[in-house]
Amino acid sequence: MTFSSNLLYFADSGISEVGQLRLVKGPSRCAGRVEVLHNQQWGTVCDESWDITNAGVVCRQLGCGMALSAPGGARFGRGSDRIWLDDVHCIGTEAALSDLAQLRLVNGSSRCNGRVEVFHNKKWGTVCDNSWDLQDAGVICRQLGCGMALSAPRGARFGRGSDHIWLDNVNCTGTEVALSDCRARPWGDNNCTHGEDAGVDCSGNLHPSHHC
């Protein structure tokens, strides 16, 4: 397993830690190894797919000006704890890196198709397929950096979830940055079973992602 932590170098105009994100081992407040807090433990971010767009989101979140570069290869030293994130794909408009960590696709043939799951109240859960359509799927594909939506499978095509059903009657216009921006019933309010779990099939990377 190759270990490579993501690195950022920012115009020095902000702070080095905000909430669940921090930069460590750098020469200034706005440069260092990227670390995120998850499950009450700090961990690193793998540099697979890491680029200036991802760096820009972290930069903005930390109030550190514009991203100047996004070097990989553990330039600011190797972390010693968990690697929490891999294959980060920001589109550049996210308010925080955590916007990406709250959505995933599971049980698909690649990272760009599968059952939709969202993270809420420290638990993963599914999305019901009532009113689920291509516009909803398109927002998810774009949020995950997976290109365009090819289809919006319904009826638990990618298998049934086993935890909470967090969202129902999702109604995206197609212009939203993230699924959390779309209209829907209140969290956890639904009349669904896991036989109605929603999925997406995106046009993006159709090959399994490389993990660090």
Rg (CA), the chain: 18
Mean pLDDT of 7-29: 61
pLDDT in tens, 58-106: 888 888 889 999 978 888 889 888 888 877 777 777 777 776 667 889 9
Mean pLDDT of 33-42: 84
pLDDT in tens, 151-209: 999 999 999 999 899 999 999 999 887 888 899 999 999 999 999 999 999 997 543 33
- Cα→Cα distances 138→39, 50, 96, 134, 178, Å: 30, 22, 20, 6, 10
pLDDT value of position 129: 97
Asked whether residue 137 carries a pLDDT value surpassing 70, the answer given is yes
pLDDT value of position 71: 79
The C-alpha atoms of residue 73 and residue 35 are separated, in whole angstroms, by: 15
pLDDT value of position 160: 97
Question: What domains can you pick out in the chain, each with its CATH number?
Answer: 7-99 (3.10.250.10), 102-202 (3.10.250.10)
The answer to whether the Cα torsion of 37, 50, 60, 172 is positive or negative is negative
Asked whether residue 4 carries a pLDDT value surpassing 90, the answer given is no
pLDDT value of position 206: 41
pLDDT value of position 9: 45
pLDDT value of position 151: 97
Mean pLDDT of 112-127: 89
Asked whether residue 28 carries a pLDDT value surpassing 90, the answer given is no
